[in-house]
């Protein structure tokens, strides 16, 4: 093959990449004090939000009964009143829509007979498809404890691995703090949007540990082991990669959320979306800010590792 052809091998349009870097260069120009301050403020706001509005626990964590009816369109408030009147127990009704089916979820307190709710609903909607589940508070408590334990252990395991890989206190602690902040913000957002804390959303929070550490490790590696001429170049290269990573994942998650009517999948997707958005800020501002401050202070040892 001729030389010119080889050169034509289509690498990513350099123009596109340059443009992207330019768009993101405002981040590189930001003072690191600000880069650290803003995410810290958000983290503290998230903590406050959690203190006043912690997400409610799903029935799998606190016990309760839920009946789901697929294939019906109903006014939730009116249906709730109807069911409550019929069975003499206060219920809460939520409607949902999916690509191919609509339906409602009826939440009732522990001890309610799910079959009774189904019987009452069948009078109105004989053709709906019904499923039900119930959880006793004792088991809810076990699940809660296990969820907390899993989160703590997973977090510690992550922290240990990060330390082992970087063997450097400040960068490691920053990564660990970023992950903590991502999770905190995600949980605070769940509170705001009324998404319940369930085993599925705990799974999503655990998943966040994996996702968020990715971009932080990328950034830290790039800045600490950088080959590029300046910190700014290394940072911009990382930010551009990170931007691609996050948007791709966010896109996939959004599609997942859009198509699925399974509450499990929906909730996992939405919590990950919250977490990834938080991570964007925490990686590229907080973590980057700390690292730049750290590198400035410890006069860097030349270009080589």
Partner 1 sequence: MKRRTKNLFLNWRIILLTLVLIGSIATLAVRPLTFGIDIAGGVAIVAQTEHPVDADTMQLVVDSLQKRLNTLGVKDITVEAQGDQIVLVKVANVTTPEEANQIKNVIESQGVFYMEFGGVIFGTGRDVEYVGIYQIKSDNTWAVPFRISKSAAEKFAELARDKAGWPVDMFLDPPVNSLIIVSESVYKTMNSSEFNAQAPEAPTLMERITKAFNITVVTYANQSADEIAKLAESKEKIVLVDVPQELQAELENVNVTVRFVPRNPGESDHSLIVRVLGLYGPYSVGEGLATGAPQQDVQITGTAPDRLTAEQEASTIYTVLKSGSLPVKLTVVGMEFISPRLGEGFKNQALYAGIGALIAVLLIVYFHYRNWRIALPVASTSLFEAIIILGFAALIQWNLDLPSIAGIIAAIGTGVDQQIVITDELLGGEKTTKITRRSSVLKRMGRAFFVIFASAATTIAAMSFLLVYFVGTLKGFAFTTILGVLIGIFITRPAYAEIAKYILGED
Residues from 30 through 69 that contact partner 1 (CB under 8 A): 60
Torsion on CA atoms 188, 272, 175, 229, rounded to nearest 10: -130
Of positions 149, 192, 194, 300, contacts partner 1 by CB under 8 A: 149
Q: Are 80 and 142 in contact (CB under 8 A)?
A: no
Q: For residue 24, state whether it binds partner 1 (rule: CB under 8 A).
A: no
What is the chain's length?
305
Q: For residue 25, state whether it binds partner 1 (rule: CB under 8 A).
A: no
Smallest distance, partner 1 to C-beta of residue 138, A: 6
Output DSSP code: residue 110. T
Smallest distance, partner 1 to C-beta of residue 78, A: 23
Smallest distance, partner 1 to C-beta of residue 102, A: 12
Q: For residue 211, state whether it binds partner 1 (rule: CB under 8 A).
A: yes
Of positions 22, 53, 75, 133, contacts partner 1 by CB under 8 A: 133
Judged by CB under 8 A, the chain residues 84 through 123 that form the site for partner 1 are: 98-101, 114-115, 118
Q: Specify burial of residue 86 (Cβ count, 10 A radius: 0-12, 13-18, 19+).
A: middle
Integer CA distances (angstroms), 65 to 11, 15, 267, in order: 56, 57, 19
Q: Considering CB under 8 A, how many residues would be counted as binding partner 1?
A: 88
* Cβ closest to partner 1, residue 92 vs residue 132: 132
Judged by CB under 8 A, the chain residues 171 through 210 that form the site for partner 1 are: 199-200, 202-204, 206-207, 209-210
Q: Are 235 and 24 in contact (CB under 8 A)?
A: no
> How far is it, in rounded angstroms, from Cα 187 to Cα 201?
9
Q: For residue 230, state whether it binds partner 1 (rule: CB under 8 A).
A: no
Torsion on CA atoms 181, 182, 185, 190, rounded to nearest 10: -140
Smallest distance, partner 1 to C-beta of residue 182, A: 13
Q: For residue 129, state whether it binds partner 1 (rule: CB under 8 A).
A: yes
Closest alpha carbon to 208 in 241, 188, 186, 177: 186
Q: Under DSSP, is residue 58 helix (H, G, I), strand (E, B) or coil? A: coil
The crossing angle, in degrees rounded to 10, of helices 169-193 and 199-224 is 150
Binding-residue pattern over the window 236 to 275 for partner 1, x denoting contact by CB under 8 A: -x--xx-xxx-xxx-xxxxxx-xxxxx-xx--x-------
Smallest distance, partner 1 to C-beta of residue 198, A: 10
Helix, strand, coil percent values for the chain (each to nearest 5): 70, 10, 20
* Cβ closest to partner 1, residue 56 vs residue 221: 221
Closest alpha carbon to 207 in 147, 275, 280: 275
Q: For residue 302, state whether it binds partner 1 (rule: CB under 8 A).
A: no
Judged by CB under 8 A, the chain residues 151 through 170 that form the site for partner 1 are: 153-155, 157-158, 160-162, 164-165
């Amino acid at each position: 093959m001729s030389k010119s052809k080889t050169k034509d091998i289509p690498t990513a349009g350099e123009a596109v990449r340059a443009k992207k870097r330019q768009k993101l260069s405002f981040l590189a120009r930001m003072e690191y004090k600000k880069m650290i301050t803003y995410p810290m403020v958000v983290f503290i706001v998230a903590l406050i939000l959690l203190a006043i509005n912690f997400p409610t626990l799903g029935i799998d964590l606190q016990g309760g009964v839920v009946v789901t009816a697929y294939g019906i369109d109903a006014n939730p408030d009116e249906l709730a009143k109807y069911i409550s009147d019929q069975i003499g127990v206060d219920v809460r009704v939520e409607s949902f829509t999916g690509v191919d089916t609509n339906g409602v979820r009826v939440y009732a307190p522990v001890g309610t007979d799910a079959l009774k709710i189904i019987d009452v609903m069948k009078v109105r909607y004989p053709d709906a498809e019904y499923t039900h589940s119930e959880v006793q508070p004792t088991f809810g408590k076990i699940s809660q404890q296990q969820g907390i334990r899993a989160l703590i252990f997973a977090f510690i395991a992550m922290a240990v691995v990060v330390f082992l890989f970087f063997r450097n206190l400040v960068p490691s602690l920053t990564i660990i703090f970023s992950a903590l902040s991502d999770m905190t913000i995600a949980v605070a957002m769940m509170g705001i949007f009324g998404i319940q804390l369930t085993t599925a959303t705990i799974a999503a929070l655990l998943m966040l540990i994996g996702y968020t550490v990715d971009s932080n490790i990328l950034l830290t590696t790039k800045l600490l082991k950088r080959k590029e001429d300046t910190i700014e170049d290394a940072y911009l290269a990382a930010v551009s990669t990170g931007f691609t990573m996050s948007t791709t994942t966010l896109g996939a998650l959004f599609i997942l959320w859009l198509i699925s009517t399974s509450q499990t999948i929906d909730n996992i997707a939405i919590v990950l979306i919250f977490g990834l958005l938080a991570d964007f800020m925490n990686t590229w501002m907080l973590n980057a800010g700390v690292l730049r401050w750290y590198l400035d202070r410890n006069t860097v040892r030349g270009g080589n590792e």
